[in-house]
Chain A
């Protein structure tokens, strides 16, 4: 496989795509948002259970490519136990990474598991796939009724 392609489709991403974590509807969610990518018609539902400003539980449902599904799956596994502020910080970090704002040598330690998405910045048309779940999560976090879109 081509190197660039291998960077994009890392084993972790393929694994999360095949068996996504927290892939379920949450009946007792306190916050919910729907995300939509008009470019491809993909959509995602994000469910949050927030108690005392802390993300107690997070899950997602929907349809998307490997990048968007893996991104949502990894996001849900990272957010549990985080405060609202920490979740927002994580979003900013992720967004900077996939849009190439961290430069050539991002701090891998700081990014942790998110580093597997570094390859996305080489694929401008796929940035939206990677960030759909995150944008939707932010809307859910702020209880915005408006649908999140990547456009």
Chain B
């Protein structure tokens, strides 16, 4: 297994060779409208290395079976691989126990699980929940639904013109009615890295639990749940070079144990009669039904891959790329960058004077460049900046300076056409 990994992952930790990394991602050889694909929509989803694709393929080819049930060899093999992935996740985020790792469909489901289970059991009329102005809709709507049901109130930490949280305002929002805080680690629209550790520290002085939405963090930063001391943390597999349809909820044991189940079904029970059901132990209590077994195994492989490349190496590569792109893009006349936080990941959101992001997106597509255009599921944030939408280029471990050049020359061409 170890030797196989070494062979499949061709990069060396010592020297960051982006061309070698690109070899690991077969889709990067694709042509779009006759041009080389320049994939800069990594904040939406990342591409998958052969190593991940092969692991998913291997699962279906050699060990497909349902888990935790069968006594036959395949079922045991599948169970081992699935539970092995859980251990990989546990190590990756430095959780204490593997029973704290709950597999979900993604970040969205993980947040919904907490809002629904913890929220319904603990939030009452008049209570308050704090989120921020830069949340993704997936970290707004579940809390809104809860607040509506319980007649509780949603409070919002404001954002400054650089796209940073105004920390002092956060402290002012906390009061005796605050029952929960749910906060994004890294903004998907702007790339801002939030001071989540400070927020958690402050919240814990008042015994308020904090959920960290780490969907845009795990692929860019070292995330250590013990160091953060967060109560819950959520992320998605597909944003860290793994498959779609799989995600993770981490939680503190005492909280998870006290929480009622989120969904009922098979695998989450230990004994069922028509009168009463006793629930399975953690993490199975929150994993009703047959999970995405191949997805979990793929996520485990993605974590293995990212760890092999080294998250610090990725971070440094992306930092250099963002710096280069920020300088280059400033040469485009009439361009304004949205999100100029001091601490940010490799996300470049921008608007062009008098040219709508959708037109930019269509034009760039014909240059082979894939970027995201729109509100990025953060409509309140767009409103804060008084814009309907932005164009967003987001960089990953396999992007190059040459690709940034293609983006910039594409933007210059658009300006010529629109005059």
Contacts and interface: CB of A to CB of B under 8 A. Distances in A.
Interface residues of A, number: 23
B111 interface: no
A39 B388 CA distance: 11
A64 B417 contact: no
A42 B419 contact: no
B207 interface: no
A64 B354 CA distance: 10
A129 interface: yes
B373 A123 contact: no
B239 to A, nearest CB: 21
A8 B362 contact: yes
Contacts of A118: none
B362 A41 contact: no
B368 to A, nearest CB: 11
A40 B375 contact: yes
A102 interface: no
A43 B388 CA distance: 9
A14 B417 contact: yes
Contact of A9 (B379, B389, B417): B417
A146 interface: no
B389 A41 contact: yes
Interface in A53-73: 63-67, 69
B359 interface: yes
A43 B417 CA distance: 24
A129 B354 CA distance: 17
Contact of B388 (A2, A40, A69, A126): A40
A118 to B, nearest CB: 16
Contacts of A2: 33, 366
A41 B359 CA distance: 14
B279 interface: no
Contacts of B417: 1, 9, 14
Q: Which of B379, B382, B388, B417 has the most CB of A within 10 A?
A: B388
Interface string B348-376: 00000011111100110010000001110
A67 B355 CA distance: 11
Interface in A27-46: 39-43
Nearest to B416: A1
A5 B367 CA distance: 11
B418 A40 contact: no
Contacts of B379: 41
A129 B358 contact: yes
A67 B359 contact: yes
A8 B33 CA distance: 15
Contacts of B419: 14, 18
A37 to B, nearest CB: 10
Given A2-B33, A66-B359, A41 B388 contact: yes
A41 B382 contact: yes
Contacts of A5: 362-363, 366
Contact of A65 (B359, B375, B413): B359
23 contacts: A1-B417, A2-B33, A4-B366, A14-B417, A14-B418, A14-B419, A17-B418, A18-B419, A39-B374, A40-B357, A40-B358, A40-B375, A40-B389, A41-B374, A41-B379, A41-B388, A42-B389, A63-B388, A66-B355, A66-B359, A67-B359, A126-B358, A129-B358
